[in-house]
Structure 1
Amino acid sequence: MARMSRAEVFDPGEVAVGHVFSRTVRRCFLMGDDPVSGKNFDHRKRWIEEYLQQFAAYFGIDLLCYSLLSNHFHLILRSRPDVVATWSDEEVARRWMMLCPNHRKADGSPMEPTQPEINSIAGCPVKREEIRRRLSDLSWWMRLLCQRVAMRANREDEEHGRFFQDRYKATRLTDEASVLACAAYVDLNPIRAAMCERIEDSDFTSAQRRIQAEHEEVHETPPDETPPDEATRHQTPPDEATGERSEPIAKLRHRRDSFLSPVSIDELLDPIGPCCSDTPERCSDKGFLAMSLADYLELLDWTARQAAPGKRGKTPASVPPLLQRLGLDQASWCELVSDFGKLFCTVAGSPDSVDSMRSHGTHRRYHLRRRARELFAVTD
């Protein structure tokens, strides 16, 4: 069955979560240890992390998870046109000019755009609306990311031509179960590839970033010193409307994972709407899983042990309650995570969720592979 065009699945005008994936040409190890040349290219993974931080700060897109390996990378992105709609025309122009600057500093970072440069976009209705649409478009995120990494690597190697295979692959995640399974699949990629044995040792992953941030927050202040949010409270300028200082800003800016979307979302207590971020480091402060970060990391650890027999540790006596709420048993969950890339192609989710959707242009049904339907049907 022919793959649907991406425009049929993703519309920049609606909030959508997508798993995107790109691999280097001929599966060469162009971002890790090259067994042929003996060279190590891990520094290119740092390039990608730097671009991810920059893009998270300026795009109207939430970065939920990522993992960077030797010849490919995975991202989970959530488009946020609702957040972009709250930005002024000048803010839209400024953000785009920071992503595609006319001038750069000596270190390569973008220079703040001048007012005439901002006006050249903000003052043109056609151009302005096109830019506004691009800022919440997953395709533009991936286009700029792959283009910049490829150009930089080719320049370093004094080579020409493709760095990544064709266009990136994208799968739409339609419900909580598919988002959770895909997040575990992405964060556990280094363990699946036998690059490490523990989640905290999974370099260049969002899981490691979150663990490091939690560890630093717990250990950064000795008992006899002022707590970090008390010490930094007065470094934050007061809010113009209320005159109060915002403690979350000071707290988030010192976290290694501040460019990532928070894990936890409380559908009953969290504010409704765009939930624009209080920091300049990410698009919004809205989470994506109905569980705490601690529970998510515990589930990752449990899943890694189940999917990789022989690893140290003991399997918990009972399945985490969350799996039961999602209608999954142990075996189904482990297969969903370990084979996520094989089970889902265009969209991912439970049969009810996928069957209720239609493509944007032709209103066709989405195809869900038989094995994926069987896994979700195990506990029905």
Structure 2
Amino acid sequence: MCGEDKLTGKSYEHRRQWVEDRLLFLTTVFAIEVCAYAVMHNHTHVVLHVNSNKAKRWTDKEVAARWHKLHKGTLLSQAFTSKQSAPLTDAERITLHSTLSVYRHRLTDISWFMRELNEPIARQANQEDNCTGHFWEGRFKSQALLDEHALAACMVYVDLNPIRANMASTPETSKHTSIKRRIRDFKKGYQPSTLMPFIGNPKQPQSQGLMFELVDYLTLADLSGRNMAPDKRGAIDVNESPILQRLGLDEHTWKTMFLTFETTFSVAAGLSDTLKRYKRKRRQKAH
């Protein structure tokens, strides 16, 4: 579906980018955060966190605006978000409130999230293939992660999928995975806005994020990738240098950067070269 057709030799590799782009776009709409993902040739793995409290804080107009990123909504919801909207009657307000309650619920529903991920990809692929019918084999399967240990294990499992399948030799060279995106963005001095951030052990209880540090997660993934089961096709070569060395980073640098992220999550946190470039751009904009 998203790989190379062995019969014709035609490549559908570009569809993996479709899936990744759509997945990350949905995080800007739903109150559902992506912790990890891996887009493979014939399936996709995602680790999700439903942030119900976030959805409860949205105003009615924000709920409507978010839903309209996916669908047209109703005439009432469209009028409600219009800058020139006329005052609503009592009956219209009741109807609108009921509609927005449905939208708010859907924006916290994993089934709706997966539906909004899969259906547009299926339509796009069928249009490319000039055909109709089912693109995905069946409905998604899900499993609840009940504690931080299960979460970490599942994230590592997902991020190492390309390595187990012998599609990549290291996490940083894998394609269409959350771990590669995290590494790429963090080397630039920030964490991806479309992925749930690592926040370590926050001092403020209201902080939202993954309760461990990225440096520890990368190390865990790297070690896990060297100890694959014998029946798996691929693994990280035991002779490979530790991941921080391969990335040209030392643990002290990572720890220092994370102390900054823990308090501010500022884009001004980064390696010395990154910070210098950032300051130069700021000075140029000031003039």
Q: TM-score, normalization: structure 1? A: 0.55
Identity %: 34
1:190-339 aligned at under 5 Å gives the runs 190-217=162-189, 257-266=192-201, 269-272=203-206, 286-288=208-210, 290-307=211-228, 311-313=237-239
Residue from 37, 41, 44 that aligns with 2:15? 44
How many angstroms does 1:139 deviate by?
0.6
Query: Structure 1: any 5+ residue segments left out of the alignment?
Result: 1-29, 103-112, 218-251, 276-285, 317-380
Is it true that 1:72 corresponds to 2:43 in the alignment? yes
Deviation string 1:171-194 (CA, Å, 9 cap, x unpaired) is 111111110110000000000000
| Equivalent-residue separation in structure 2 for 1:165 and 1:81 (angstroms) | 30
Q: Which residue of 2 aligns with 1:135?
A: 107
Q: Comparing both chains, which one has the higher relative contact order based on Cα–Cα distances under 8 Å and sequence gaps of 6 or more?
A: 1
Residue from 59, 66, 73 that aligns with 1:88? 59
| Equivalent-residue separation in structure 1 for 2:187 and 2:94 (angstroms) | 43
One-letter amino acid of the structure 2 residue matched with residue 212 of structure 1: R
Residue from 139, 145, 158 that aligns with 1:173? 145
| Equivalent-residue separation in structure 1 for 2:27 and 2:98 (angstroms) | 25
How many angstroms does 1:203 deviate by?
0.4
Structure 1 runs (4+) deviating above 3 angstroms are 113-117, 119-123
Deviation string 1:203-243 (CA, Å, 9 cap, x unpaired) is 000000011112223xxxxxxxxxxxxxxxxxxxxxxxxxx
How many angstroms does 1:315 deviate by?
9.8
Change (3 A) 1:185 1:61: same
Deviation string 1:227-276 (CA, Å, 9 cap, x unpaired) is xxxxxxxxxxxxxxxxxxxxxxxxx5xx5x22111023425x1332xx5x
How many angstroms does 1:33 deviate by?
1.8
Q: Which residue of 2 aligns with 1:332?
A: none
Task: Give the structure with the higher percent helix.
Answer: 2
Paired residue secondary structure (2:46): strand
Is it true that 1:155 corresponds to 2:127 in the alignment? yes
Is it true that 1:60 corresponds to 2:28 in the alignment? no
Count of matched residue positions in the alignment of Structure 1 and Structure 2 = 225
Change (3 A) 1:53 1:45: same
Root mean square deviation, CA, Å: 2.4
Q: Which residue of 2 aligns with 1:35?
A: 6
Q: TM-score, normalization: structure 2? A: 0.72
